Structure 1
Amino acid sequence: MAGCWDERLYKNSSVVSLTGFEGEIGKLTAYYAYPEATTNEMKTIIITGEGVSPRDVRQDAELKVEQTLDLSVLSTILISEKTAEHDIYKFLDGYFRDANSPVTSKLAIVQGDLKPFFEVSEDKQSTAGDFYDRFITSLEENSMVIPYTLQTASSVLFENAQDLALPYLIMGEEQHPKAEGLVLFSGRSFTGKKLSIDEAVLLNILNDSLGFATRISYLYEESPVTVRINESKRKFDISENKIEIPLKLEFILSEFPDDNLDETNKRIELEKFLEDEIEKDMKEVIKKLQEAKCDAIGIGRHVRAFHPKWFKEDWNEHFSTLDISPKVDVEIVKTGILE
């Protein structure tokens, strides 16, 4: 037998689970976080590298560690928002040229300096990358961000019919990372425009990329109302310069102290209220997408596939000029545990 000719032991490597970039090509800084076991505890070590390119900064970082950096179990990549204003793929290219690099890593854009986002992981019991991986996964499950991995995000970067919308993280007042919404890309660069968490949930509905739980809250006649999506159906009605997005939303009522929904008129009124509010807010989301020239909904893919004569190669520009309107149909299918 050949034996373990390709064996790589963890004890011989510094296994990095979290990395990140700030700066730009030519003057770049990267951070690498990996766990180190002591006799009493497991702690996180943070190494900084500087150089002109992502591969150069990694080589610089390896000059400061006793073992080779191993990125084969990399969970998360953080990128500064200033860095994301440049061609983001330049910072990701190296991961696809190394056979040991995973393509399932999560991506997030962060506000300000990267270092605090790494330092906060030093007190966590899990590895730094796993902490952010679970954090972003929980946002995906609640439809607060669009689920992307390194592989799926990079495929969109090479796509001229759809654009990225990546999680946006800030450092909260208690020195704990906080999700602030989504950052919008046009092509391969961050546009400087963002969506709030509430707007991100609506984008997930428009994008048909719902997680396990999708909740929307409003104030109805001074009474709070929260609904959870039971089922969502989306279509596109496309003409040359006008696109309508019919949405059929089935809701489960999660919160409504006003009650009295056994009255038919009351239920109809509430459904009409939700239709109007969601439509209005979705129009605002679409307006922001068009201002950013960011087709995060993937309308371009649908047009190119089913209406190729109306697809334009400069889709970002064309997308920003289209008449796009959502049409929401709401039905409350369940109002509580027993109904």
Structure 2
Amino acid sequence: MAGCWDERLYKNSSVVSLTGFEGEIGKLTAYYAYPEATTTEMKTVIITGNGVSPRDVRQDAELNVEQTMDLSVLSTILISEKTAEDDIYKYLDGYFRDANSPITSKLAIIQGDLKPFFEVSEDKQSTAGEYYDRFITSLEENSMVIPYTLQTASTIIFEDAQDLALPYLKMGEEKHPKAEGMALFSGRSFTGKTLTIDEGVLLNILNDSLGFATRISYLYEDSPVTVRINKSKRKLNISENKIEIPLKLEFILSEFPDDNLDKTSVKKELEQFLEKEIEKDMKEVIKKLQEANCDAIGLGRSVRAFHPEWFKKDWSEHFSTLDISPKVDVEIVKTGILE
């Protein structure tokens, strides 16, 4: 028998769970966070590396650790917004060339300096990467960001018919990471434009990539109304310069103090109100996407597949010139626990 010829023991390595980049190629800084056990506690160690490329900064960081850094269980990669304005693949290429690199790592774009996002993890009981992995996963489950891993994001990076939209985080006033929305990409570069969290929910509906729970809230005649999507059905009506997106949304009512929904007229008025507001907000989301030349909805894929004669090689720019209109049809199918 061959035995454990490829055995790699964690005790012999500094197992990095979180990494991040800021700066630019030629003058790059990277941070690495890994857990270290003492006789009394588990703490997070943060190592900084400087160099001209992602592989060079890792080698520089290796000079500051007593054991070789192991990135085989890397959970999250954070990238500064200024760095992401360059070709983002330059900073991810090395992970695809190393057989030990995981392809399930989460990605996020960071507002401001990167170091505070690493320092905040020092007080967490879990590893730094696991903390951000759970943080981003919770956003995905609530349909606030589109779910991407290193692998799925790379397929979009090389796709000429769809663009990336990654989680956008900032440091809150209480020195705690906060989800700010979604960072919009055109091709491989961050455009500097973002969507809010509420707009991210609408983008997930348009993208047909809903998480476990999708909630939308409005103020209806001075009364709060919150609905949760029970079922969503999206179609695309494509012509040469126009794309219509009919959406059939079934809602469960989560909050509505006014009630009186046993009256058909009240229920119908509420449905019409939701249709009007959601359609209006979706148009604003599409407007922002077009201003950023960011087809995060993936309309280009459908155009290329079913109407190749209308597909343009410079799709991101062509996308911004199209007449794109959502058409929302709302039905409230459940108003409470018993109904």
Rounded to whole Å, the distance in 2 between the matches of 1:2 and 1:238 is 58
Amino acid at match of 1:303: V
Q: The residue matched to 1:302 in structure 2 has which SS? A: helix
Aligned ranges 1:195-206 → 2 under 5 Å: 195-206=195-206
Residue number in structure 1 paired with 2:246: 246
Deviation for aligned residue 1:117:
0.1
Residue number in structure 2 paired with 1:301: 301
Rounded to whole Å, the distance in 2 between the matches of 1:58 and 1:142 is 35
Rounded to whole Å, the distance in 2 between the matches of 1:64 and 1:38 is 18
Residue number in structure 1 paired with 2:73: 73
1:141 aligns with 2:141: yes
Q: The residue matched to 1:66 in structure 2 has which SS? A: coil
Residue number in structure 1 paired with 2:55: 55
Deviation per CA, 1:255-276: give whole Å up to 9, x if none.
0000000000000000000000
Deviation for aligned residue 1:81:
0.3
Rounded to whole Å, the distance in 2 between the matches of 1:6 and 1:141 is 36
Q: The residue matched to 1:309 in structure 2 has which SS? A: helix
1:165 aligns with 2:169: no
Amino acid at match of 2:174: E
Amino acid at match of 1:54: P
Deviation for aligned residue 1:54:
0.1
Deviation per CA, 1:48-78: give whole Å up to 9, x if none.
0000000000000000000000000000000
1:290 aligns with 2:290: yes
Amino acid at match of 1:93: D
Which structure 1 residue ranges, 5 or more long, are not aligned? none
Residue number in structure 2 paired with 1:44: 44
Residue number in structure 1 paired with 2:220: 220
Q: The residue matched to 1:252 in structure 2 has which SS? A: strand
Deviation per CA, 1:166-201: give whole Å up to 9, x if none.
000000111100000001000000001000000000
Deviation for aligned residue 1:17:
0.1
- TM-score w.r.t. the length of structure 2 is 1.00
Aligned ranges 1:87-236 → 2 under 5 Å: 87-236=87-236
- Runs of 4+ with >2 A deviation: none
Rounded to whole Å, the distance in 1 between the matches of 2:125 and 2:256 is 39
Rounded to whole Å, the distance in 2 between the matches of 1:320 and 1:168 is 22
Aligned-CA RMSD value: 0.3
Rounded to whole Å, the distance in 2 between the matches of 1:244 and 1:111 is 34
Q: The residue matched to 2:159 in structure 1 has which SS? A: coil
Q: The residue matched to 1:109 in structure 2 has which SS? A: strand
Amino acid at match of 1:266: V
Deviation per CA, 1:16-46: give whole Å up to 9, x if none.
0000000000000000000000000000000
- TM-score w.r.t. the length of structure 1 is 1.00
Aligned length: 339
Q: The residue matched to 2:86 in structure 1 has which SS? A: coil
Aligned sequence identity (%): 88
Q: The residue matched to 2:143 in structure 1 has which SS? A: coil
Rounded to whole Å, the distance in 1 between the matches of 2:176 and 2:154 is 28
